[in-house]
Structures are given as structure tokens and as C-alpha cells.
Amino acid sequence: MSKQATSDEQQFLELLETHQNIVHKVCRMYARSEEARRDLFQDIAAQMWRAWPAFRQDCKVSTWMYRIALNVAISGVRKQELQTTELTEIQHFVSADEQETPDAYARLYAALERLSPSEKSVALLYLEDHSYEEMAQITGLSADNLRVRMFRIREKLKTILQS
């Protein structure tokens, strides 16, 4: 193995370790069991490694990683019909009085499971406090389109949570 290959591999591994939370969040969003999350993490890491030589750093590393992670996860959902199991942020969808109760988390998880894979990806990015411009870079959708989608997702979640 050449010195350049070793350096590239080390740089990639450091990047993955530094930003692994991005991949873990996507895995929690799209994989039901711990085993499925580990498998999805490996699939995402493998796809990132394949894409690493072409990364031109014309966008933030986190944007590049989210884009790949979401594409791999959504492709996996289409193949395996994976469902959402966990998110930690609920303040946008559950009233302040309910936010700290286990029941509120369970209700939110159940509501998120009813979203489509593309809705889940937008909701995840939104809950991670990404701006619409960042979300546009990650998803390839326009910021205006994402605003409309997020409005519809919020309305859908409100309807689900109120029923």
C-alpha cells in the first residue's frame, strides 16, 4: 500500500470518527433494531469511502456526509422497508407541558414512523437545526421547496399527534 493511500485512509477514518454522530443519527432515524443500525452504519461508511476520492470539498464535510448517509438510508428503506425508531428532539411537535414525559416521546416516535422516507429525512435535518439553505445543499431540493415540505410535515405530525 502506498503512503498516499495510507494517508487518504487515515484522513477518512479521522473524518468519520469526528463526524460519526451524523451517521448515527441517520441510522437511528431509519433502522429499527440495533443490529440494523450497525449494518446501516457500515453501508453508509462503505459508500462514503467509495465517494471519498471524489470529494472536492466544495461543500461542508457535514453536508457531504448527510447527503450520502440519507441517500444510502433511503435506498435501504425502499429495499427493506425500514422504519423510524428514535429521535431525541421533540420541542417542535409536542406541547411544552408534555415534552419531558416518556409518553410524549413514544407519541412522537409513533408519529414519525408514519412519515414517508423523504419526509423523515427533511424532519431529521429540521430537528437538527439545519437552515433551509443547508438542507437544500444536503437534499438537492430548493430551500423554498423544503419550506413547503416542512410546513406539510409539521401539519401532518400535528394531525397525527392530535388524533
Q: Do residues 128 and 66 make contact, with C-beta atoms less than 8 angstroms apart?
A: no
pLDDT one-digit tens code per residue, 87-132: 433 444 554 444 455 676 677 777 888 889 889 888 888 877 788 8
Regarding whether 72 and 114 lie in a shared domain, the answer is: no
* CB neighbour list of residue 154: distance below 8 Å, 6 or more residues apart: 92, 93
Domain housing 15: 1-86
Q: Which of the residue ranges 8-12, 75-79, 106-110, 118-122 would you say has the lowest mean pLDDT?
A: 75-79
pTM tops 0.75, yes or no: no
Output the pLDDT for position 127. 79
- 78 and 95 belong to one structural domain: no
End-of-domain residue from the set 45, 71, 86: 86
Q: Are 83 and 32 in contact (CB under 8 A)?
A: yes
Which of 47, 63, 86 delimits the end of a domain?
A: 86
Model pLDDT for residues 41-64, shown as the tens digit of each residue? 999 999 999 998 888 777 888 889
pLDDT for 26-42, tens place per residue? 998 888 789 889 999 99
Asked if residue 76 and residue 92 are part of one domain, the reply reads no
Q: What is the pLDDT of residue 105?
A: 67
Give the DSSP per-residue string, 12-76: HHHHHHHTHHHHHHHHHHH-SSHHHHHHHHHHHHHHHHHHGGG---SS-HHHHHHHHHHHHHHHH
According to the model, what pLDDT value does residue 95 have?
A: 47
pLDDT tens per residue, range 128-158: 778 888 888 888 889 889 989 988 998 898 8
- pLDDT value for 101: 55
Res 75: pLDDT: 79
Query: Pick from 86, 111, 128: which residue ends a domain?
Result: 86
Q: For the chain, how many structural domains are there in total? A: 2
